[in-house]
Structure 1
Amino acid sequence: MKKYNRIKLWEGLHSSYWFVPLLITGAAIALAFFMLTLDSTGKSGLMEKSGLKIYTGGADSALTLLSTIASSMITVAGTVFSVTLVALTLASQQFGPRVLRNFMQDIRFKFVLGTFIATFIYCLLVLRSVHTDAEQPFVPKISITVAILLAIASILVLIYFIHHASTSIHAWHIIREISDELESNIDYVFSENPGNSHPEHKRQLVEEITTGFEQQAYPILATGSGYIRAIDYDRLMNIAKSKDLLLHLKHRPGKFIVRGSKLVRVFPFERGNGKLTKEINYAFILGRERTAFQDVEFSIKQLVEIAIRAISPAVNDPFTAIRCIDQLSVALCHLTQREFPSPYWYDDNDQLRLIADQVTFAALVDDAFHQIRQYGRQEVAVTIRLLETIATIAEYTRNKNNYVALLRHANMIRRGSENLFEKLDREDVEAQYQVVLQRLAKI
């Protein structure tokens, strides 16, 4: 469970806009004190004798130099923050508010902002150590040299920031970022492969145990509200084995639950109690927002949201929708080659312990295609690309259940195209539909 709490903590820090700049600023403070210590011990003289180029000006010029760098850095930091807010606003309006999560997790924006703030803080700390007394002047030459180097580095970072800010709001960039997250999430979720595939002789056992289960099981109610970010299946398995229970999970990661709703059912009924309710609830990590961790549907729906916004009358950008469909096809092709986890978990003695609500390929296809098909019914290019995507996925699948899901969507897309005004458009859709049937016939 500690693993999932650490992941939740890291998710919160990673999505915050203060954590990375704070770390960089802390490093700048440590660097300032370290450099001032070197200056106070007379290391600058040794460096000059060794031929290293360091600052050689007086106290007054040092004050002017540090003040100029500090004031310019804080000004640029404000500009960077303003540009970031503009990028967030544009992305939210064009691609949806859920895309802001990807921007908030973009460490490059935070690194740029932290660099300028860190340079500003460093110059302030060095500035306070400069003494202009005629009797005992003190000019931290090494520290000032480092300040100049930080200023040069900040200029390079500014150039990079301008490039990154201009490309980060492009549709192709945002779609690609979400697609990469979806691919990595598929690899993570299905590599864990929760659940144990039960052999044929266990199916009858499953049917016998689950008969009348809903009426005879003890309901475990949720003690909080929010989105399920993660479920500690191992912890639930240990609880079930130690107390000789059968647990039926009513929800999977990504679902929203309300406090007091049924979270898990426990069999037999007489073993349920308040302590068990607390232990089981502890295995569910809740949050205010939905995240991609253990939730493949989340990233798919992000791509779908961008697509349906693109084909809305206000935007009318089918090319962006087609790009989203292309990325969805990549993910679904990979999913057809994955072994989806069984909902049934057995212990080492072949005793059924958990019945989990697992995602299915058909459900993911529904998430990917339903809304795009509904909103893009009059967009011929989008309709044809959906059929082309189904034909592509059909080349990768060898599962009959996947065949049923793909054929179902192909039929719905074809029926939706019957209302197209232009006869040639209907014929183009029909031609692509026949291609889909040919591909599916080979399964």
Structure 2
Amino acid sequence: MIQKLKYKIKKIFIHQLKDLGTFLGAVYALVIGSALMVLEYTIDFGIYFKINIFDTYSRLITVSNVLISILIGISLTTFSVIFVVMQLASSQFSPRILRHFLITDFKMQKFIGLFVGTISLCVLPQLASVFFYQRPFLLTLFVGSLFAFYGLAWSYPKMITYLSVNMNVSSITNRIKIDMMEEIANLYPENWTVGKNLLYKRAIIHPDKFKIQILSPFETGYLDSVNYKKLEKLSEFILKSDVGSLFENAYQKPVVGEFIMKDTTTLLALVFSEEIKPSQINILKQEVNIIVKDTFKVAQFRSHTQDINFGVRKLVDIAIKAISPAVNDPTTCLNCIDQIGEIAKELAVKEFPSADSRTLGSKKIQINEFNFEEFIDFCYDQIFQWGKQDPTVVKRIIRSIRIILPLVNNPFNLKILIQQVEEMDLLEIYNLSNYKNGNLKISKEKLISIEMELANFRQKALRQIKVLELKGILDHYETNHYSTNLVIISAERKQ
């Protein structure tokens, strides 16, 4: 419970507050500055400390202005260099990865907040002295100067060290993975166990049913998130309306992260057992649109919120660019495959669909989500497509999937992982005939190593199938079906 609360607070700070560094700086300068100036206005510190406040204040202004100038100069220089490095790095990472480097890194935002706030805190008393010229705000200026000195002597070197570490590709990919793991834990809190559905398939709307389509009222962008707690109001409202007895289900059409067009993309499809009157449709649409505006969030860019595929997309982008001839950095690609493998491992043991989807499903609202099969395809297909001629990349893909196999108790997920490797048709590419014909530009040792890696994978897959058989899981699902979804039942029978 505490972990979930921390997660929500973090998401509010990172995703809800725009320009967080400036926000922190403004709050820090206004709160501290206002408190100190009010204190100085009511108490004459010159009498207490027996100093000439006007003379000390005028001398401190010079020192403060020098500190501000240095702080502004090094800040502008540093961030200019950062942006140049980012532009150069975009050939390896892509703008999608680097766009939110400063925005989503909370520690980086604190550095920005300190610099902006310190400059504001030094300027604030000088600005106030224009209106209260007989009251120099010495204490406020002194505190601001101390913060400026602290920023130069301690925070700035610390920020440079932090940047040098966190702009490294391993740090970037690891941070993406950590964000995704947190999102998975939030969306899929329960692990799969025997007795639960083997797989998740989208419910299909019968073509003969009467449907009302709710189009997007938002400006064009990406579906950033859906507030599922508020979405519950949808079925509550419809069931209480005069058409409630005819209402069957509401279907969320786009997946989170999908591109949304204003007045074009269908956000919801409301299904009724019979056709309802045009006047009732108009009233229903007006009320549902109010709920939709409060429930769906469309943004200019995609984010990690409820969108695991976005994090994977970034890792896949880095991997593909790393093995391109322009970059030629296979080590980075291998790092990305390892991180993707860890995300896939976490999802392989989870129950699908998400907890929110199951809750809303019982309330006649069907959520549209990716299933495990689509997710695994999304993880590996493009990397294999662009890296299949590189035996190192191919072996790492096989290995990252092989490591997951012993952890998977869900027969369907196990089948998907095995299928992912088998459908690569590696022996069609890496065989002795292609090697002798010169179609493979690799050594015979590399060819043998891929064959051995594939053999090890198949051996471990057979071993895990045997484990599930001994546990009685395979026999259990041969005779039992837990879903009423015909699409799922059909897919289960094909296992």
> Shorter-chain TM-score category?
0.7 to 0.9
Verify: 1:276 aligned to 2:284, yes or no. yes
SS of equivalent residue, structure 1 residue 95: coil
The corresponding residue for 1:145 is: 142
- Write the distance in 1 (CA, Å) between the matches of 2:204 and 2:392: 49
Cα drift, residue 65 of structure 1: 1.7
CA distance in 2, matches of 1:226, 1:274: 26
Partner of 2:332: 320
Partner of 1:222: 215
Whole-Å Cα distance in 1 between the matches of residues 208 and 324 of structure 2? 46
Deviation at 1:376, TM superposition (A): 0.6
Partner of 1:25: 26
Are the counterparts in 2 of residues 90 and 169 from structure 1 also a CA contact under 8 Å?
no
Q: Against the structure 1 CA distance between its residues 410 and 143, is the aligned structure 2 distance closer, same or farther, given a 3 Å change threshold?
A: same
Matched, 1:363 2:378: no
In structure 1, the residue matched to 2:69 is 71
* Aligned AA (2:125): V
Q: Deviations over 1:231-259 (max 9, x none)?
A: 34444444335234312333221222333
Alignment check: 8 A CA contact 1:343 1:357 kept: no
Secondary structure of 2:110's aligned partner? helix
CA contact (8 A) 2:235 2:363 kept: no
TM (norm. structure 1) is: 0.82
Q: How many residues align?
A: 420
State whether residues 219 and 262 of structure 1, in contact with CA within 8 Å, keep that contact through their aligned partners in structure 2.
no
Aligned to 2:483: none
Structure 2: distance between partners of 1:374 and 1:95:
18
CA displacement at 1:366 relative to structure 2: 0.7
SS of residue paired to 1:215:
coil
- What is the CA–CA distance in structure 1 between the aligned matches of 2:137 and 2:411, rounded to whole Å? 75
Q: CA deviation at 1:277?
A: 3.5
Deviations along 1:297-347, whole A, 9 cap, x unmatched? 111111111111101111011100111111111111111221112799788
1:27 deviates by 2.5
Quote the RMSD (CA, aligned, Å): 3.7
**2:111–2:159 Cα contact (<8 Å) kept:** yes
Closer, same or farther: CA 251–394 of 1 in aligned 2, 3 Å: same
Give the structure 1 partner of residue 406 of structure 2. 395
Letter in 1 for 2:399: E
- Are residues 11 and 106 of structure 1, via their aligned partners in 2, closer, same or farther at CA, if it must alter by over 3 Å? closer
- In 2, the alpha carbon distance for the partners of 1:198 and 1:438 equals 27
Shift of 1:141: 4.3
- CA deviation vs aligned residue, 1:386-438 (integer Å, no higher than 9, x gap): 11111101121112211221122212332464363433322211111111111
Gaps of 5+ in 2: 435-439, 466-495
Deviation at 1:187, TM superposition (A): 0.6
180, 186, 189: which is aligned to 1:188? 186
1:385 maps to what in 2?
A: 396
Q: Which amino acid aligns with 1:152?
A: F
Q: Is the 8 A contact 1:69 1:123 kept in 2?
A: no
CA contact (8 A) 1:417 1:426 kept: no
Aligned to 1:254: 257
Per the alignment, residue 266 of structure 1 pairs with: 270
1:180-221 deviation line (CA, Å, top 9, x unaligned)? 10111111111289xxx9889xx9xx99xx887123231414
- Stretches of structure 1 that go unaligned for 5 or more consecutive residues are none
Match of 1:433 among 454, 467, 471: 454
C-alpha distance in 1, partners of 2:176/2:349? 21
| Counterpart-to-counterpart distance in 2, 1:352 and 1:60 | 69
Bigger Cα displacement from structure 2, 425-434 vs 107-116: 107-116
Return the alpha-carbon distance in structure 1 between the equivalents of residues 419 and 39 of structure 2: 73
Q: Secondary structure at the match of 2:225?
A: strand
Partner of 2:304, secondary structure, is coil
Is the contact made by 2:212 and 2:271 (CA closer than 8 Å) also made in structure 1? no
Query: 2:206 is matched with which residue?
Result: 213
**TM-score between both structures, scaled by the size of structure 2:** 0.74
Report the residue type matching 1:385 in the other structure: R
Distance 1:212 1:402, change over 3 A: closer
Query: 1:8 offset after TM fit, Å?
Result: 9.2
Deviations 1:63-100 (A, max 9, x none): 32222223223223322432332343234332111112
Equivalent residues of 1:346, 1:352 under 8 A apart: no
Find out whether 1:307 has 2:307 as its counterpart.
no
Residue 151 of structure 2 is matched in structure 1 by 154
* Distance (whole Å) between structure 1 residues aligned to residue 125 and residue 231 of structure 2: 55
What's the CA shift for 1:170? 0.9
> C-alpha separation between the residues in 2 aligned to 1:211 and 1:318?
42
Query: Given residue 303 of structure 1, which amino acid in structure 2 is its aligned partner?
Result: L
